[in-house]
C-alpha cells in the first residue's frame, strides 16, 4: 500500500510540474500579447500625433526662412507661420486645424520660391514633408505622406 501511495504522490507531483510548465509559457505568451497590443496602441497614438503635420528638413548649409500657410477652398488663410530652418535640423509641427480636401498648403522659401500642394480627397491624417536644399537645382521640395 505504501508503494501505491508513493506512486500516486509521484504521479500527482509529475502532473503538477507538467501543468506548471504548460501554463507558465501560455501565461507569458498572453502577457506578451497584451504588451504588444499596448505597445501598438501607444505607437498608433504617437502616429496620430504626427498626422496632419508638417516636417521641415534643411539638408543644406545655410539657414532659411520657411513660411507654411493653409488656405481653405475660398483662399482664406486658416494658418500661416514662418520658421527659421537651420542646417541639419528638422522642425515638426502640427497644423492647428485639419487640412481638408481641396484646401491648399502654400510653402514659401526665403520669400522667393513658392510651391503649393493641394490636399487630395481622402487625405485625412496627412504629413507634409518640406525638404530644403535637398536638390541644388530645386531647393524646395514638397511631398505628402498618408497613413
Q: Are 98 and 81 in contact (CB under 8 A)?
A: no
Better-predicted residue by pLDDT, 18 or 120: 120
For residue 130, the surrounding DSSP H or E stretch is strand 127-135
pLDDT digits (tens, 9 = 90+) for 100-112: 888 999 999 999 9
Better-predicted residue by pLDDT, 82 or 35: 82
Q: How far is CA 147 from CA 70, 78, 126, 130, in A?
A: 20, 23, 7, 17
Q: What is the mean pLDDT of residues 81-86?
A: 97
Level-2 CATH architecture, domain 51-145:
Sandwich (2.60)
| Of the candidates 94, 90, 72, 63, the residue with the CA atom closest to the CA atom of residue 81 | 94
pLDDT digits (tens, 9 = 90+) for 122-137: 766 778 999 999 888 8
Q: Report pLDDT for 84.
A: 97
For residue 94, the surrounding DSSP H or E stretch is strand 90-94
Q: Report pLDDT for 94.
A: 92
Give me the phi and psi of 85, to 5 degrees please: -100, 125
CA dist., res. 36 & res. 34, Å (int)? 5
For the chain, which residues make up each domain, given as ranges?
Answer: 1-50, 51-145
CA dist., res. 63 & res. 107, Å (int)? 16
Amino acid at each position: 500500500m505504501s508503494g501505491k501511495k508513493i506512486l500516486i504522490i509521484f504521479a500527482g507531483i509529475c502532473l503538477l510540474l507538467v501543468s506548471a510548465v504548460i501554463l507558465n509559457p501560455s501565461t507569458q505568451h498572453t502577457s506578451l500579447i497584451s504588451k504588444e497590443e499596448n505597445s501598438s496602441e501607444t505607437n498608433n497614438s504617437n502616429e496620430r500625433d504626427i498626422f496632419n503635420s508638417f516636417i521641415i528638413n534643411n539638408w543644406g548649409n545655410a539657414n532659411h526662412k520657411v513660411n507654411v500657410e493653409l488656405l481653405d477652398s475660398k483662399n482664406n488663410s486658416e494658418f500661416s507661420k514662418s520658421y527659421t530652418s537651420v542646417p541639419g535640423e528638422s522642425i515638426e509641427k502640427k497644423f492647428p486645424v485639419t487640412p481638408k480636401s481641396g484646401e491648399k498648403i502654400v510653402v514659401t522659401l526665403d520669400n522667393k520660391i513658392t510651391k503649393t500642394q493641394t490636399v487630395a480627397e481622402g487625405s485625412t491624417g496627412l504629413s507634409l514633408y518640406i525638404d530644403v536644399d535637398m536638390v541644388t537645382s530645386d531647393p524646395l521640395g514638397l511631398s505628402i505622406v498618408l497613413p
